[in-house]
Amino acid sequence: MAVRARPWTVDNGLMDEAPAAAVRGEEARLAELLRPRLPSPLDELVDDRMAARGLRLLLKRDDLVHPDIPGNKWRKLAPNLAWAHAAGHDTVLTFGGAYSHHVRAVAVAGAALGLRTVGVIRGEEHRPLNPVLARAAEHGMHLTYLDRTSYRRRTSPDLADRLRAAFGPFHLLPEGGSNALGVRGAAGLPAEITQPFDVLCCSCGTGGTLAGLAAGLRPGQRAVGFPVLRGGDFLADDIRALQRAAFGAATTTWTLECGFHCGGYARTTPDLTRFIADFADRHGLTLEPVYEAKMLLGVFTLVAAGDFRPGSTIVAVVNALADGPQSSARIAAAGVATP
């Protein structure tokens, strides 16, 4: 995921093309067809390291929302696909790597709404298809492949023209679904949390999820994002741009903790590996290593450093687990390498 190239677009104009009521109707239809588990469960993690600091940690188990469209995928994609259908598009085209759960999620949700879907995959075609792409193809997605150099230009108008010549008109959904509609979808999560809390933590790839979560907070609450890419400070501008596109203004309710990338995207360190094993021993949950383990390593490190006020309740949003239905391919894809 070369997010440094800022491959997503912030398409503020989208909302004007389809009446809000029609979009809401399509979202309700999608939910009726696919039955997401919403609100997702909120589980307290009983851990002596939290108790020792007078803190509570709750896990927002968004990984349980839907087996093919978990967590932030559902929250960002449902409004986008509902919008596309309500606006009269019959085809949605999106981009992703060979193990992209975003691509699979678009295929499954698009099929439910009767949309034709095209997945533009980075790199060469490999047969047989891996389980993620096989699932996308099973749901009728047309897969096409772009060499890595062309893929880097995936936001260029020239490429869009070439793809339109090949596949006809389509609605283009940015990688990860991080656009104004996706951010609005993510903003619904905090309202699901019925217990009082002070800090909401999440991992960041594009920053679209954090942009939405932070905008959905109540007064006095704050959000902390943990970028999984090296040098994640660059995300701050993108998050503000996404919030402006979605809501007209950026909020100051969030911060980034950029010290927990563990060497960069899909890289690991002995500390992270130990943390994942220890967490599994203590809690029986094997954390997904590319995003969520880094975020929780960050949370526990900040707790040990006394960064959270005693008496605070922290909620950590978990979009995936390593032993969830989507995981083994992600771990294989990540190759989880030591820097």
Annotated catalytic residues are 100
Among 80, 179, 253, 319, binds ligand PLP (CB under 6 A): 319
**86 near ligand PLP, rule: CB under 6 A:** no
Candidate segments 27-35, 52-60, 159-167, 207-215, binder of ligand PLP by CB under 6 A: 207-215
Report the length, in residues, of the chain: 339
Shortest distance in whole angstroms from residue 209 CB to ligand PLP:
3
Retrieve residue 73's tokens.
């995928």
Q: How many helices (H) and strands (E) does the chain have?
A: 15, 10
Shortest distance in whole angstroms from residue 318 CB to ligand PLP:
8
Cα 200 to Cα 86: distance, rounded to the nearest angstrom: 32
Cα 226 to Cα 260: distance, rounded to the nearest angstrom: 7
Cα 63 to Cα 49: distance, rounded to the nearest angstrom: 24
Nearer to ligand PLP, 34 or 235 (CB): 235
Q: Is 178 left (phi over 0), alpha (psi -120 to 50) or beta?
A: beta
Shortest distance in whole angstroms from residue 117 CB to ligand PLP:
18
Shortest distance in whole angstroms from residue 212 CB to ligand PLP:
8
Among 320, 321, 329, 336, binds ligand PLP (CB under 6 A): 320
**94 near ligand PLP, rule: CB under 6 A:** no
**Residues 315/42, Cβ–Cβ less than 8 Å:** yes
**64 near ligand PLP, rule: CB under 6 A:** no
Number of residues that bind ligand PLP (CB under 6 A): 16
Candidate segments 28-36, 51-59, 201-209, 303-311, binder of ligand PLP by CB under 6 A: 201-209
Cα 20 to Cα 319: distance, rounded to the nearest angstrom: 27
Cα 213 to Cα 225: distance, rounded to the nearest angstrom: 10
- Summarize as ranges the residues that interact with ligand PLP (CB under 6 A): 72, 101, 176, 178, 203-209, 288, 291-292, 319-320
